[in-house]
Structure 1
Amino acid sequence: MGCAQPAPTNGVPPSPYELPYDSLPDKRRVWHGKPGSREEGLGRLALLTPDVVAEAARSCIKTGVRVSLNWDLTKLDIANFNRAPAQHHITSLLGGAGFDDVYIFNPQQSSQWDGLRHFSAPFPTPENPSRRLFYGGTTAMEISDRSSHRIGIHHWAKEGICGRGVLLDYVAYAEKHPISYSALSNHAVPLRVLRQIADDQGIEFRRGDILFIRIGLTKEWDTQMSPADKQAYAQSTDPQHAGVEGTEEMLRWIWDEGFAAVAGDAVSFEVYPPQKAYLGVDGSEVPGFFMHEFLIAGWGLPVGELFDLEELSRKCRDMGRWEFFVTSAPLNMPGGVSSPPNCLAIF
C-alpha cells in the first residue's frame, strides 16, 4: 500500500502528511503547523481524525475484552543510560484516616511514549556544524525554558492516542522458523520479515493505524534474566537493543503505510546502537539511518517503547485476529517530554 499524490484543494497545498515518501521535499524535515500551534504539537497524530477513530471503533470492538499494554512502573527496575528506578511513597492522611501516594519516576524507565521533545536531529550550519533541532525547529533552549510549552506532550493528552492497533508478532515468527536472538543484542528485524508476518497474520494496513511490534524484551526481562544479568545490562557502556532495521526502505514503509504512531516492547523500537549499514536481499550493503532522528524530530511520529505485549499476543493468537482498538491517555503535563502510555487494547 502507499499514498497517492494528492491534489491541492481550493488552491491550498496538501498537508505534508498526505504526500508519498518519495515526493517529500525534505525527508528529514516534515514539519507541520505554526510554531507553538496545536497542529505542530500533534505532529503525525493529525492522521487520527474523528472519522478514522470512529471507523476503528466500529471495526475493532466486537467482544469488549480489554488488555492493558502497560508494563509495571517498577520496570526496568535496573535501567541503562543512568535512569533511576521508580519511587512510590505512601503517606498517611488525617492521622491515618486515609492515604496519599507520591510517585517519582522517569517515564523512559518503563512503558512510555517518546514525545516530540525527547529527541533531536542534526541540522548543521556553516556557523554551527553541531546544531541539532527538535520537531518544528524547536531548540534545546526552548525546551529548557520551563515557561515554553512548545511541542509538549500535553498536545497529545488533549485528545489521546486512539485508533486501530495492529500487532506484528516477531517473537512468534522467530520461534516458528526458528531464529535465535536476545532482545538485548543488536539483532535487527528487516522489512521483508515484517511484511511476511503481516501476510501470515492476514493484516491489511489502513491509514492512521497504530503499529505494534513484539520483539520480546519484557518477556526476556521478566522470565529469563537473573538479577546479575540485569545489573550487567544497566552498567554496560555499550548497551544493545534488538529492534527494526534502520533503513530507508523501513522509513518509506512506515511513512507510506500511513502509520499514526509506532510502538513495541523493545527498549528503543529500532535496533540500537544505530548501524552504519545493513545487508540487502541481494547481499549488497545499504546505508543505515538513526530512525529516531526521522520519526520523532523529522516527522512528529510518536514512538512507544517497553510496552507490555505479552497478554496482547496471547489474546490475538487465541482470537485469531491481530487488530484491536487502542486507547491511550498520555499525561497532561504542559511541556512534558514523554509519558506512560496508560494504554488499553479493546477487542
Structure 2
Amino acid sequence: MTSSNGPAVSREEFDALFETVRTWGRWTPADRGAWNRVTPEQVRRAVSRVRSGAVVPLARPWDTRSAPDNPKPALHHMTDLGDVEAPEPSVHKDFLAADYHGKGMTHLDALCHAAYRGQLYGGRAAHEVIDAAGAHYGAVGALGPLVTTGVLLDLPAVLGTAWLEPGQAVHAEDIVAAERALGVAIGEGDAVLLRSGSPRRRAERGAWDPDAASAGLHVDAVPLLAERGIALLGGDGDNDVRPSPVDGVHSPVHALALAAIGVPLLDNLDLEALSAATAEAGRFAFLLVVAPLNVPGGTGSPVTPVAVL
C-alpha cells in the first residue's frame, strides 16, 4: 500500500469501469439494489455467528460543534424542561435536526443519494424521480432494516500502524491481503466495513478537512467487492479516498457503489471499539444490524449500526 491516492484514472477509464460493474436490471424491487441479496437464509447464517453476545455500537456521537470536518453541525436543544403541570409526571423534551450527508455524522446513503451522468441505479433519470418533496425511487424507505454478516477489514491492524494517513488509498490487493491476515473471507450478501483509524487520528491530532484529504477506497478495489457480491459497504470515512483519483468525479466510489452496483453506503462510522473487540475475540466477522429511519422520500438516514459478537 502506498501513501498516495493514485494511480490516476481518466474519465474514459472510469466510464468503462462503471459499465463493467453495473448490475442494472438484476433485482426486483430495483430500488433495494444489492440489499436484495440478504435473504432469510443469509440472516440465519449471520445470527449463527454470535458467540459472546457482546454488542458494539458503531456510530459517532451526535455532534453539535463546528469543526473543519463538521461545517454544518447537528442541532440539539431542549423544548421542555419539565415544568410541573397537573397531572403528573412532568416531562422533558428535546429537538434534533441534522444535515447529515457530510463528514460529521454516521449515516446510511440510499440509492437515490448519488446519480452518475444524471442516472440513478437502474437507469432512472434523477430529475424525473426526485423533487422538492423527496425521492420517489431509491429512497431509504425502500431499504428497511438490514441484518447480515459484517466483515471488518482493519487495515491499520494489518499494517501495524495506528491509522492510515489522509489521502492513503486502499486497493484490491490490500483487501485480499487483509482477508488473509485477519482470517476472514468476504461472502455474498455481506457488509464490508473498512477501518482506516480516522477517529483515532482525529482524537490524537485534531480535526482536518476530509474533503481535501482522507483515506479510503480507490476505484480499482470496487470490481473485487462487486465480484464478491456484497450488500453494503461502509467505513470510518465516507468510503472514497480523497483527493479523488478520477478526473472530474469527486466521489467515484459513491458513483460506482450507489449508481452502478446498487450497494448502499455507511459513511463516518466509528470502528475503534469494534477493532478492539474483534482483535480480542480473534474473529473479524459478526452479526451486523442497521436500522435506518423510515423517512418517506429520504436520500438516507442517520443510523447507529450495531455489531454483535
What TM-score bracket applies, with the shorter chain setting the length?
0.7 to 0.9
Give the AA of the match of 1:197. Answer: A
Give the AA of the match of 1:246. Answer: V
Pairs within 5 Å for 1:194-343: 194-225=175-206, 230=207, 233=209, 239-247=212-220, 250-266=221-237, 268-276=238-246, 290-343=252-305
Compute the RMSD of aligned alpha carbons: 2.7
Aligned-pair CA distance for 1:138: 3.5
Give the AA of the match of 1:133. Answer: Q
CA contact (8 A) 1:164 1:210 kept: yes
Give the AA of the match of 1:66. Answer: V
Matched with 1:105 is 98
Hey, what's the Cα distance between the residues in 1 that align with 2:135 and 2:164? 43
Hey, what's the Cα distance between the residues in 2 that align with 1:118 and 1:25? 17
Hey, what's the Cα distance between the residues in 2 that align with 1:273 and 1:341? 26
Please, which moves more after superposition, 109-118 or 139-148? 139-148
Matched with 1:117 is 112
CA contact (8 A) 2:240 2:251 kept: no
Matched with 1:61 is 50
Aligned-pair CA distance for 1:223: 2.9
Matched with 1:42 is 32
CA contact (8 A) 1:295 1:303 kept: yes
Shift in alpha-carbon separation, 1:195–1:334, aligned structure 2, 3 A: same
Q: Secondary structure at the match of 1:211?
A: strand
* Match of residue 30, structure 1, among 20, 23, 30: 23
Give the AA of the match of 2:119. Answer: L
Hey, what's the Cα distance between the residues in 1 that align with 2:226 and 2:31? 19
Task: Show CA shifts across 1:263-296 (max 9, x none).
Answer: 0101x2121232149xxxxxxxxxx992221110
The reply to whether residue 135 of structure 1 matches residue 121 of structure 2 is yes
Give the AA of the match of 2:264. Answer: P
Task: Show CA shifts across 1:28-71 (max 9, x none).
Answer: 6422379xxx712211100001111111111x111211000011
Q: Secondary structure at the match of 1:73?
A: coil
Q: Secondary structure at the match of 1:117?
A: helix
Aligned-pair CA distance for 1:172: 1.4
Hey, what's the Cα distance between the residues in 1 that align with 2:150 and 2:182? 14
Give the share of equivalent positions with the same residue, in percent.
Answer: 25
Q: Secondary structure at the match of 1:332?
A: coil
* Unaligned ranges ≥5, structure 2: 1-16, 85-89
Task: Show CA shifts across 1:203-228 (max 9, x none).
Answer: 12221111011011111122321xxx
Q: Secondary structure at the match of 1:55?
A: helix
Shift in alpha-carbon separation, 1:194–1:76, aligned structure 2, 3 A: farther
CA contact (8 A) 1:209 1:259 kept: yes
CA contact (8 A) 1:246 1:289 kept: no
Give the AA of the match of 1:47. Answer: R
Q: Secondary structure at the match of 2:259?
A: helix
CA contact (8 A) 1:121 1:133 kept: yes
**How many residues are aligned here?**
283
Give the AA of the match of 1:146. Answer: A
* Match of residue 149, structure 1, among 118, 133, 136: 136
Q: TM-score, normalised by structure 1?
A: 0.74
* Unaligned ranges ≥5, structure 1: 1-23, 123-131, 278-287
Q: Secondary structure at the match of 1:121?
A: coil
Task: Show CA shifts across 1:232-266 (max 9, x none).
Answer: 628xxx6121112112xx22211111111110101
CA contact (8 A) 2:158 2:181 kept: no
Q: TM-score, normalised by structure 2?
A: 0.83
Shift in alpha-carbon separation, 1:87–1:180, aligned structure 2, 3 A: closer
